[in-house]
């Protein structure tokens, strides 16, 4: 029986390098495609064109919602949500669903989520938000936490990767390592080393995906 690889998509090379050295490229392909949902969607679609993969995984570092995901820990996305896809209104933000133009929510594949949860029992599971603009204020962090009570992290690529995977009918999931709490930007307090260490430690779980 032919075995097709898992495609792991990251935003930047440093994220890809954190796991690539620990994986068999015949089983898990790891590629960086750029920052943001547009680059993620385009890059993932390019990688999937003419190639058969058994699953696609969006992987990288992320900001965590305080009290829901610890800095230095891992989160498994049960859904990828384009949190800023919609329109402003006098009564607040209107998601794209209310405009009648599609959906801002894409479900992760249950089998992939279950496999990741089994291999990474300390990881927190929940929604991962995709934003084109990273949160940098307490007010925005509070607003997002209220709008999305099941959100555990925010990043910039998951929804784009999920769109590309859905377009060719390939199962999708998202795995993130938390480098900082969501809120006011304080680069000096970010624990990038811990987040990258968490990604490296998660590599065996990627190799074991169905």
What is the DSSP-derived secondary structure letter of residue 116? Answer: H
**Predicted structure pTM score:** 0.93
Domain map (residue ranges) of the chain: 6-207
The pLDDT tens digits of the residues spanning 54-75 come to 999 999 999 999 999 999 999 9
DSSP per position, 72-93 = T-EEEEEEEEETT-EE--TTS-
Superfamily of 6-207 according to CATH: Nucleoside phosphorylase domain (3.40.50.1580)
Q: Whole-angstrom Cα distance, residue 189 to residue 195?
A: 13
The pLDDT tens digits of the residues spanning 128-185 come to 999 999 999 999 999 999 999 999 999 999 999 999 999 999 999 999 999 999 999 8
Average pLDDT, the chain: 94
Structure tokens of 10?
């990251």
């Amino acid at each position: 029986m032919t075995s097709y690889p898992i495609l792991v998509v990251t935003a930047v090379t440093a994220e890809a390098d954190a796991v690539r050295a620990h994986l068999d490229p015949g089983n898990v392909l790891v590629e960086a495609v750029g920052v943001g949902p547009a680059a993620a969607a385009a890059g993932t679609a390019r990688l999937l064109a003419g190639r058969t993969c058994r699953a696609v995984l969006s992987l990288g570092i992320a900001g965590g919602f305080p009290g829901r995901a610890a800095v230095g820990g891992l989160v498994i996305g049960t859904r990828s949500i384009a949190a800023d896809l919609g329109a402003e209104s006098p009564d607040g933000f209107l998601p794209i669903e209310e405009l009648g133009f599609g959906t801002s929510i894409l479900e992760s594949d249950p089998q992939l989520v279950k496999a990741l949860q089994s291999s990474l029992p300390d990881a927190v599971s929940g929604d991962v938000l995709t934003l084109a603009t990273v949160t940098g204020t307490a007010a925005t962090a509070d607003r997002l936490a209220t709008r999305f009570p099941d959100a555990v992290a925010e990043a910039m690529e998951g929804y784009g990767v999920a769109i590309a995977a859905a377009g060719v009918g390939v199962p999708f999931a998202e795995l993130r390592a938390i480098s900082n709490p969501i809120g006011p930007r304080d680069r000096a307090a970010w624990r990038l080393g811990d987040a990258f260490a968490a990604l490296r430690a998660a590599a065996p779980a990627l190799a074991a995906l169905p």
